[in-house]
Amino acid sequence: MSLLTVGSIAFDRIETPFGKTEKIVGGAGTYIALAASLYNNNQTVISIVGEDFPEKMLNEFRNRKINLDGLQIIKGEKTFFWSGKYSKDMNSRQTLVTELNVLEHFNPIVPENYQGIDYLMLGNLSPEVQFKVIEQLKIRPKLIAMDTMNFWMDVSLDQLKKTISMVDLIIINDEEARQLSNEYSLISAAKTIRKMGPKFVIIKKGEHGALLFYEENIFHAPALPLEQVFDPTGAGDTFAGGFMGYISSTDNISFENMKSAIIHGSALASYCVEDFGIKRLQKITKKDLENRICQFVELTKFNVIDSVK
Amino acid sequence: MSLLTVGSIAFDRIETPFGKTEKIVGGAGTYIALAASLYNNNQTVISIVGEDFPEKMLNEFRNRKINLDGLQIIKGEKTFFWSGKYSKDMNSRQTLVTELNVLEHFNPIVPENYQGIDYLMLGNLSPEVQFKVIEQLKIRPKLIAMDTMNFWMDVSLDQLKKTISMVDLIIINDEEARQLSNEYSLISAAKTIRKMGPKFVIIKKGEHGALLFYEENIFHAPALPLEQVFDPTGAGDTFAGGFMGYISSTDNISFENMKSAIIHGSALASYCVEDFGIKRLQKITKKDLENRICQFVELTKFNVIDSVK
């Protein structure tokens, strides 16, 4: 089934305790689409870049069967640029530079041939842009998922709540869930957020895994314990991309299937952090994925059936 | 199989955002023995209390088939007392009062009828006291497990390392594991700690669950997501008690059985935090335990067998 991703395509410059990069390709849309391409070869993207964006990367998207009709390439302008530096323990990061460039006036346009898409993933962008995309869809997708961040809660809460009320699934981290809900307990936070609209809530807890909430059900997925995180950039987007790639390719939005999708998203995210930017993600094979899924099974399986009399 | 617990039996006064208690019975040894008594009716305890310790509580231990021959009751002296106050989000606590009392000169003596015990759990106490107990055992137990805390790393690191080198399993939290190993990554921390002696390392991550390390294997157990933690006091000791109660009653120290033991320990700990001190722990029934184990199964089970081609 078709998957439409809306998200930034950008340049990043990243500094971690292990080194720093030149300007490299990044952006939520990039990570989501690359991760989803491991499952789905019927993808479309809506985004915006400047004239400076490398044709080579666009070709990589095309080779992965990602339709770029909805990508605006603005002549004479520059691609969104972000630069950041991670703390020694990788648990916090400092933004060094943000140049919005083309993103500042981004007005997403859904091409006619994108109408009727089955699944929609709204990467972290202004809630207004996210809303405008939903508005233009003549047929409601089977599942609309969105990401967001604290920044939009600070500067654009009303619009954000309006957008949230339109989606089926929200994927955010624990800190964001707490801010959005004003609740410390993640169970209470998920309850409050579900009342805002989404039937499904996924709360990402970084190295501690992720929680999926649906009605009275909770699923806990661990993160793979890693000896070394080389660069956390894009791990959350990779998770979302793997999740939506899996869901859209299996065309099944049951709670059970979402659990599997979370494990797949977590597996891809655990690869993503092994190298700078999208470098590792670009090289993941089906065999890699299979190996890591097996590690997740090993990590979590236990048998208590015999132990409860 | 028999289980010997060495740990403090104490009075606590606890303050949480939900209220405060009078002097109530607490102490690592108390929580461990109560939790283990849900599995094992062949327990012995080594500890020390003052004349002020209530006979009623000693009778509760006896009713739970806990042999108290190794409990020193010191005439004219007072029981160890600790008072603490939890922060609003329960993530940190401040010690208000510590009165060591009888614990100050505690010299543990292993009674003759305790020789030959099968399993030993050393609750958090000075590493010297823990060492003295191991030294007195003429036959090595099948499994020696220990807990400890940052305080002993600060004031008594050499003795602590000597004690750690004697045990098979260490159960500590993430912060303690990092301090002890000088490693941030918990995988690296566990590796370093295993080199100090213990074949098995359990790292508790509070609301994020626990990790068990053995050779190249890792098991991740979630904590049950809770809407409200009423009082976290003793949750870690309850976990250890449930774990060792389960291990000793099943008499199986395989990695697989330890996984089940961790789920049982986690289930008991999730009850412990529902009320002040040992209150909820005293009332847990087999049925309660069964229900919560089922919740852990629901929380973690997923099926990816079909999803990997």
Taking CB atoms and an 8 Å cut-off, how many pairs form between chains A and B? 107
Is residue A196's pLDDT more than 70? yes
Q: pLDDT digits over A14-23, tens only?
A: 999 999 999 9
The beta-carbon neighbor of B227 closest among A187, A219, A225 is: A187
**Distance from the B221 Cα atom to the nearest Cα atom in chain A, whole angstroms:** 7
User: Which residues 52-111 of chain A have a CB within 8 Å of chain B?
Assistant: 89
In chain A, which residue's Cα lies nearest the Cα of B219? A299
Quick check: B115 contacting A, CB < 8 Å? no
Query: What does the pLDDT read at residue B308?
Result: 46
With an 8 Å Cβ cutoff, are A219 and B300 in contact?
Answer: yes
Domain boundaries, given as residue ranges, for chain A: 3-301
Query: What does the pLDDT read at residue B170?
Result: 98
With an 8 Å Cβ cutoff, are B185 and A307 in contact?
Answer: no
Q: pLDDT digits over A117-149, tens only?
A: 999 999 999 999 999 999 999 999 999 999 999
Q: pLDDT digits over A170-193, tens only?
A: 999 999 999 999 999 999 999 999
Q: pLDDT digits over A61-104, tens only?
A: 999 999 999 999 999 999 999 999 999 878 789 999 999 999 99
Considering only CB atoms, which chain B residues are within 8 Å of A188? 227
Residue B305 banded pLDDT, cuts 50, 70, 90: low
Average pLDDT for chain B: 95
CA atoms within 13 A on the CB side of B150: 7
Full-model pTM: 0.91
Q: Taking residues B257-264, what's their average pLDDT?
A: 97
With an 8 Å Cβ cutoff, are A308 and B293 in contact?
Answer: yes
Q: pLDDT digits over B152-163, tens only?
A: 999 999 999 999
Q: Taking residues B64-86, what's their average pLDDT?
A: 97
Residue A289, token pair as written in the block: 């994925």
In chain A, which residue's Cα lies nearest the Cα of B208? A208
Considering only CB atoms, which chain A residues are within 8 Å of B263? 302, 304
The beta-carbon neighbor of A225 closest among B218, B228, B263 is: B218
Query: What does the pLDDT read at residue B228?
Result: 86
Is residue B261's pLDDT more than 50? yes
Query: What does the pLDDT read at residue A192?
Result: 98
Q: Taking residues B86-115, what's their average pLDDT?
A: 93
CA atoms within 13 A on the CB side of B23: 14
The beta-carbon neighbor of A185 closest among B205, B228, B294 is: B228
Q: How far apart are CA A192 and CA A194, in angstroms?
A: 5
Average pLDDT for chain A: 95
Q: pLDDT digits over B114-125, tens only?
A: 999 999 999 999
Q: Given 3.40.50.620, 3.40.1190.20, 1.10.10.10, 2.60.40.10, which CATH number is that of A3-301?
A: 3.40.1190.20
Considering only CB atoms, which chain B residues are within 8 Å of A302? 219, 221, 256, 259-260, 262-263, 300
Q: pLDDT digits over B180-237, tens only?
A: 999 999 999 999 999 999 999 999 999 999 999 999 999 999 999 998 889 999 999 9
Residue A306 banded pLDDT, cuts 50, 70, 90: low
Is residue A308's pLDDT more than 50? no
Share of chain A above pLDDT 70, in %: 98
**Distance from the A207 Cα atom to the nearest Cα atom in chain B, whole angstroms:** 9
Q: How far apart are CA A13 and CA B177, in angstroms?
A: 33
Find out whether A236 and A243 touch, Cβ atoms under 8 Å.
Answer: no
Is residue B306's pLDDT more than 80? no
Structure ipTM: 0.86
3-state SS, chain B, equals: CCEEEECCCEEEEEEECCEECCCEEECHHHHHHHHHCCCCCCEEEEEEEECCCCHHHHHHHHHCCEEEEEEEEECCCCCCEEEEEECCCCCCEEEEEEECHHHHHCCCCCCHHHCCCCEEEECCCCHHHHHHHHHHCCCCCCEEEECCCHHHHHHCHHHHHHHHCCCCEEEEEHHHHHHHHCCCCHHHHHHHHHHCCCCEEEEECHHHCEEEEECCEEEEECCCCCCCCCCCCCHHHHHHHHHHHHHHHHCCCCHHHHHHHHHHHHHHHHHHCCCCCCHHHHHCCHHHHHHHHHHHHHHHCCCCCCCCC
Which among A90, A220, A251, A254 is the top mutation candidate for probing chain B, defined by the most B β-carbons within 10 Å of its own β-carbon?
A220
Considering only CB atoms, which chain B residues are within 8 Å of A303? 256, 259-260
With an 8 Å Cβ cutoff, are B225 and A286 in contact?
Answer: no
Query: What does the pLDDT read at residue A213?
Result: 98
User: CATH 3.30.9.10: does it fit domain B3-300?
Assistant: no
Q: Taking residues B99-108, what's their average pLDDT?
A: 96
Quick check: B302 contacting A, CB < 8 Å? yes
Residue B47 banded pLDDT, cuts 50, 70, 90: very high
Q: Taking residues B3-32, what's their average pLDDT?
A: 97
Q: Taking residues B47-52, what's their average pLDDT?
A: 98
With an 8 Å Cβ cutoff, are A222 and B226 in contact?
Answer: no
With an 8 Å Cβ cutoff, are B228 and A303 in contact?
Answer: no
**Distance from the A240 Cα atom to the nearest Cα atom in chain B, whole angstroms:** 17
Is residue A252's pLDDT more than 60? yes
